[in-house]
Structures are given as structure tokens and as C-alpha cells.
A = this chain, B = another copy of it.
Amino acid sequence: MNESMLTRELARLALSSHPEESAEAFAAARLGVIDFLASSFAARDEEAIAKLWRVVKAEGGHAQVPVIGQGEKVSFLQASLLNGLIGHALDYDDVHSDVRGHPSTVILPALISVAATEKPSGERFLAAYVIGVETMARLGQAIGPDHYVKGWHNTATLGGIAAAVAAAYLKRFSQAAMEKVIGFAATQASGLRIQFGSEMKPLHPGLAAHAALLSLKLAEEGFAGTRQALDGQLGFFGLYGDGDQDRAKRLLVEGWGEPWKIVTPGLWFKRYPFCSAAYHAADAAVRLREKNKLSPQDIEKVEIIFPPDGDAALVEREPQTGEEGRFSVEYVVALALNGYPLSLDNFTKAPLAEEIKRFLPRIHRSYDAKLSPVPHAVPKGRFTIVAVTTTDGTTYCERIDRPKGAPGQPLSSEELRQKLEHALAGEPDRAERIIGTVSALKGKEDLQQLLFLLSITSRL
């Protein structure tokens, strides 16, 4: 294959795909929608969202598309910006290891805007989502590991193109228009990792979804653009990648949809509303308490053992609030060993419960460079051991290499339901209706019903 055919091949593969023929892909897509909505509802009162709302309100615009959990509509493009931010605001949304980033929070906001204005069938919506994840995972593999390492935020740089392809698939673009829309999105690809840790990080997917939809609209109006934006040294892979065009060719197109990337390796759904670097320890602590019937008063000390630097993201050792506790492995483990649920209500701006505060000094971190991570560790190279010593001198240990929710350890439907219910702050009826609608999503009306349900506004 000639290198100048990458854009053409991606467009051709996407447009000729039939993901609706894969029951597995559709099942995974339904779970993805539920998880994305749970992650979004959980975030609906974040300050960053209120700030962006004020920017959007100052602009005005038609009320066209619902904003998740906000009870209001804004314009087609504005909604993608807001919904992208909302989906990623807590970093609670799905991850895909081929992407090294978050696919759904870019792709679904773009598709929601198209769904609200164009009223496609629910089936077509799910198919477009599968195509979007496929595209993004393949872009992530094709562009190579250097892309992220150098400083790009893959969620944003790859997400815009993937969301544009998904939206153009939803709208049944021609081959030529699909090639152009890829180029319009590629020429807007941006997002720097140097923004990690700020509110700009979760806005990146919003900006990427916005770029995708502007690309879509421009293509629909016949705006002229290159049809070879991915190709050659001046193209997207040449400029944002490491120049290995052979790998790019191979990984972008070979074996497309066999199996679908949304199925294998699949999406990683986050089980807890805190930093995923504490997930291993959380699973270990929950298991220790359950297996050994440990009571907090019997626990004398707790040691949490990481590979060197495995806790780099866990910057809080003495959190004062639940929100700060999102980045504290001590807080997470203390909650679990004291029998508190690892759910949203323990990660708010409220101060720590007194008994948790008193428990924290018993917990310490250490590092072991000699222990080897297992081959199936997620993320690669990671493990965490939690060792609890009781007042009678016994020590109980649990080692976790791959937390619950990660590929190979998927959340069950029931666990996803719980995530959604928690996010909806104890409105099990609404959670039930959303799950019912997503599970049966097929026709036009189903999809409009889902859009109605996602706009609900009741506050935490």
C-alpha cells in the first residue's frame, strides 16, 4: 500500500463497516454509554463546568442539544464542548490501552450533538460509537508510543479525528467527504500533557469534540480541504508521530474490526471516583477486609508497597477533604479498611470523617524494586501490595496486578449499575430507566428518549 493512501483507507474502512453485525461490539458499546453517563452525572456539580457554562452563556445560541445532567440545551457545537468536559471532569470515564487515553468522552459528546439534531436510529448511533473507538485505538497504535511520551494528550489529539470519523459515519458521508473531514479534524489536532492536573485537562476532550463537529459541518457545507491529511511527511502521522510510516500503515488498517477494538482489548471502566493509581490498593484493601473479617480496631499498621514511582500521581498523604482524598492512597485504603463504600459521597469537598482521620497515621507507603510486575499487569509494570498487621501480630497481604474494571477484569453489569446509581445520588429509578433505554437502544425514538434522560438536572 502506498503511504499516500492512509486517509483514503481509513475513510473506506470506516464507511464500509458493519459493526451492527457484531453482538459483542454492540454489547460493549451499550456498557460504554452507561459508563460514560455515570462518569458524567458524577461530575455534574464540578466547578470547571460552571465556569465553562458562563463562557457559553455569554455567546448565546440556539437550544439544540442537551447538556448531560444540566437540564438545559445549547447549540450543536457548544454542547460538544460542555459534554466533553463533563465526561472527563472527574477522570472517572473509560480508558482504552491502545489509545493511551479516553475515547468515549470525545466520541460520545460529538455523537450526542449529531443525534439531537439529526435524529438517527439508536442502532446507527451505537455503530458510529464502535467505529469511533476503532478509529481512535488504531490511531493510537499507528502513531506510536512516542506521541504521548513527547507531550501530546492522546485523548485530544487522536480523539478529534476519531470523533469526526464517527460523526461522519453516523451521517453516511461519501468517501470524498469522509477524507476531507479527517483532514479538517487533523488540522485542529492539539492538546498538551503539560496541562495535566488542571481544569484544562478535562476540557481537552471537549475541544476535540468541538473540532470534530466543526469539521463535520464544514464538510457538509462543501468547504474545500485536502483529502490526504494523514499521508506523507507533512501529514498527521509524519508531523505528530515518529516518522515510522510503515507501522502507521500496518496498525491503522490491518485487521480492521476483527475483532472490534471496543471488544478486544476493550474499554477500561473506572470503578472508583479517584485516581486510578490507587485502584490496586483499593481492591487489595477491600479484599483484605472481606476475606479476613478485619475490624478497624484490630489493625495496628498498614503498609502499601509500590514499584518505585508507582505512586507518583498520588500526591496527597494527609488529605483534609474527600476531594483531596482522590489523590491519596492512604485515604482510599483507610476508607476500605473501615468499611466505607468507595463511592462518590466520600470524595466530595466535605472534611474527612473523624474515625478515618484517626486511622490515617497507621498507614505507610514503601517501595520494592526487586519484585517483578506480572506480564498481564495493568497498567504495564504496575502492582500494589497492601499488608495489614493486626494487634495480635498477624500480617495479612494482598497483591493486585490488574484492578477490577481493567481489561481482563471487566466490571459486571451490576457494578456498572451501581456506578450509575451512585452518580445519580440515589435515584435508582432514573438509573433503571437509563439502563433500560441503553440496553434496548435500536430505533430513532429510543435514542431521543436517551437524550431526554441524559439531560435530567436533579442535583447531588
Q: How far is the CA of A354 from the CA of B77 in the complex (A)?
A: 48
In this complex, the member of A51, A59, A61, A62 whose beta carbon has the largest number of chain B beta carbons within 10 angstroms is A59
Decide: A234 and B75 in contact? CB cutoff 8 A: no
Q: How far is the CA of A222 from the CA of B51 in the complex (A)?
A: 7
A-B contact pairs, 27 of them (CB 8 A): A48-B224, A52-B221, A54-B221, A59-B61, A59-B75, A59-B78, A60-B75, A150-B239, A151-B233, A151-B235, A151-B238, A153-B187, A184-B200, A187-B195, A187-B200, A188-B207, A192-B229, A192-B236, A194-B226, A194-B232, A194-B234, A194-B235, A195-B226, A199-B223, A200-B218, A200-B226, A203-B218
A55 on interface, CB distance cutoff 8 Å: yes
Q: How far is the CA of A204 from the CA of B228 in the complex (A)?
A: 17
Decide: A223 and B191 in contact? CB cutoff 8 A: no
Measured between C-beta atoms, what is the minimum distance from A160 to chain B in Å?
A: 9
Which residues of chain B are near A274, meaning CB under 8 Å?
none
User: In the complex, which residue of chain B has the Cβ closest to the Cβ of A193?
Assistant: B234
Which residues of chain B are near A152, meaning CB under 8 Å?
239
Decide: B239 and A224 in contact? CB cutoff 8 A: no
Q: How far is the CA of A188 from the CA of B189 in the complex (A)?
A: 8
User: A200-222: which residues lie under 8 A (CB-CB) from chain B?
Assistant: 200, 203-204, 207, 214, 217-218, 221-222
Which residues of chain B are near A207, meaning CB under 8 Å?
188
User: In the complex, which residue of chain B has the Cβ closest to the Cβ of A204?
Assistant: B187
A76 on interface, CB distance cutoff 8 Å: yes
Which residues of chain B are near A184, meaning CB under 8 Å?
200
Q: How far is the CA of A241 from the CA of B223 in the complex (A)?
A: 30
User: A150-174: which residues lie under 8 A (CB-CB) from chain B?
Assistant: 150-153
User: In the complex, which residue of chain B has the Cβ closest to the Cβ of A48?
Assistant: B223
Known: A189-B190, A194-B183, A194-B228. A76 touches B52 (CB 8 A): no
Tell me the number of copies of this protein: 2
Decide: B225 and A199 in contact? CB cutoff 8 A: yes
In this complex, the member of A192, A197, A199, A214 whose beta carbon has the largest number of chain B beta carbons within 10 angstroms is A192
A312 on interface, CB distance cutoff 8 Å: no
Measured between C-beta atoms, what is the minimum distance from A73 to chain B in Å?
A: 11
Measured between C-beta atoms, what is the minimum distance from A36 to chain B in Å?
A: 23
Which residues of chain B are near A372, meaning CB under 8 Å?
none
In this complex, the member of A48, A78, A198 whose beta carbon has the largest number of chain B beta carbons within 10 angstroms is A198
Which residues of chain B are near A200, meaning CB under 8 Å?
183-184, 187, 218, 223-226
Identify 12 new A-B residue pairs, CB closer than 8 A, beyond the known A61-B75, A153-B187.
A52-B218, A55-B214, A55-B217, A59-B62, A150-B234, A150-B239, A151-B234, A183-B194, A194-B226, A197-B226, A198-B224, A200-B225
A360 on interface, CB distance cutoff 8 Å: no
A58 on interface, CB distance cutoff 8 Å: yes
A186 on interface, CB distance cutoff 8 Å: yes
Which residues of chain B are near A218, meaning CB under 8 Å?
51-52, 55, 200, 203
User: In the complex, which residue of chain B has the Cβ closest to the Cβ of A55?
Assistant: B217
Q: How far is the CA of A197 from the CA of B238 in the complex (A)?
A: 19
- Nearest first, the 4 closest Cβ-Cβ pairs linking A and B are A60-B62, A151-B234, A199-B224, A51-B221
Which residues of chain B are near A223, meaning CB under 8 Å?
48, 51-52, 199-200, 203
Measured between C-beta atoms, what is the minimum distance from A103 to chain B in Å?
A: 20
Q: How far is the CA of A235 from the CA of B192 in the complex (A)?
A: 8
